[in-house]
Amino acid sequence: MTLKIYGFPMSTCTRLVALICKEKEIPYEVVPIDLSKGEHKAPGFTKFQPFGQVPYIDDDGFVLYESRAIARYLIKKYPNQGTPGLIPTDPKEEALFEQAASVETSNFNAQIAPLIYEKVFKARSGGQPDQAKANEYLQKLEAKLDVYEVILSKQKYLAGDNVTLADLQHLAYGSALSLAGHSDVIEKRRNVARWWNDIYNRPAWQAVKNGA
C-alpha cells in the first residue's frame, strides 16, 4: 500500500516528509488538506492528529504525526534504499547527528519559524507583521548563523562530512528566507552559503520545494 501523507502540499512540515520520501525513494500519495477551510481542525482529521496540525501519515494502517518523527521512522524503515546514512548507525556518528539535530531544533528553527510567521505567513492570512518582533528574531537568527559559520568552516555538514537528516531539516523554513526578504543572512556567510547551496540543490529538494 502506498504511503499516504495527509497535509497541505506547500506547508513546511509536509514538504519535509515528502523530501525524505524522495531521498529514500519511497512512493507516496499526498491527500490534500485545505487549511483555509479548516480541514485540519475537523473531527475526521483530529481523530488521527489530535493537535490539528499537518501532516500525518498512514503507512498501511500505521498512523504517525510530527514531521521529524515521521522522517526518522521512514529513514529507519528503509535503511537499504535511497540516500544512505541520513541517520548514522555508528554510535559516535549517531551522537554527532543527534547533536546537530538538536541544534537545528533549538537554535535554527526556534528563531526562523517565528520570523517567517511574522514576515510571510501572517501577511498571507491578512494580518500585519510585527516588525519589532521580526527584527528581534532576525537578530537572534543571525547570531546563531555566526556559530554555524564556525562549525561549517571545519566540516562539510552539521554532523560531519556526510549529509544527514539534521541538514535536510533546515530546508523548508530556510528556503522561506527569500520570501521574507532575508536571503542575505545565508549568502553573506561563506561557509553557511556553501553548505546551503549544497543541500538546497539536492534533486530531492528540487522535486518538492514548490509543493509535496
H, E, C per residue of 20-35: HHHHCCCCEEEEECCH
Return d(Cα 100, Cα 9) in angstroms, integer: 27
What digits encode the pLDDT tens for the residues 93-120? 999 999 999 999 999 999 999 999 999 9
C-alpha cell, 53: 496540525
The Cβ of residue 52 has, within 10 Å, a number of other Cβ atoms equal to: 13
* pLDDT at residue 159 is higher than 80: yes
Task: Dump pLDDT digits (tens) for 64-92.
Answer: 999 999 999 999 999 999 999 999 999 99
Q: Which amino acid is at 204?
A: A
Band of the pLDDT at 156, cuts 50, 70, 90?
very high
Closest CA to 71 of 159, 6, 166: 166
